[in-house]
Amino acid sequence: MIIFLIYLIRANTAIATKKSQLMEIEKNELTKLLTMDQSVMYLFLEFIADQVIFINNRLELIAHTTLKKKIAYYLLAEYRNTKCNSIYIPYSKRKWAEYLNVQPPSISRTLNEFESKGLIVVNQRNLSIINMSGLVKELS
């Protein structure tokens, strides 16, 4: 969404996983479309809002200095989104480690530590939070 920037900064890189087409829309044409069709405007604003939330969550995750805090934050954020103590990790440990910006063996050690403290139960990619307040304490 670089069309509405005042200062042109380096754009992100995107890699397509399958054959794709790129659509270029002039700023004035997009503005016209958004003002003509309210449903398009709502979808556009919803997309922008989702991106802002994603980036804010990502920044907050990265800001945590220890792996324990990163994993606790991630699990609590997933709980907040789903209102469910059972959390499915959709990533392999390697991908999850990349997402958290840590080494894969460290994730296993930290999950084992959380499990031995009675905070969570781990069953492969399924985690259950059993001590919410203890997990919250890991953030402080």
Q: Is residue 55 part of a domain?
A: no
Give the residue-averaged pLDDT of 73-90. Answer: 92
CATH number at residue 110: 1.10.10.10
Domain encompassing residue 132: 65-137
Q: What angle do CA 70, 88, 64 make, to 5 degrees?
A: 5
Q: Is residue 127 part of a domain?
A: yes
Q: How many domains in the chain?
A: 1
Q: Is residue 14 part of a domain?
A: no
Give the residue-averaged pLDDT of 62-78. Answer: 90
pLDDT at 4: 62
Q: Is residue 72 part of a domain?
A: yes
Q: Is residue 30 part of a domain?
A: no
**30-34, 89-93, 128-132, range with greatest mean pLDDT:** 128-132
pLDDT at 103: 86
Pair of tokens at residue 35: 């003002």
Percentage of the residues of the chain whose pLDDT score is greater than 90: 49
pLDDT classification of 100: cutoffs 50, 70, 90 = confident
Q: Is residue 9 part of a domain?
A: no
pLDDT at 119: 97
Q: Is residue 46 part of a domain?
A: no
Report pTM: 0.68
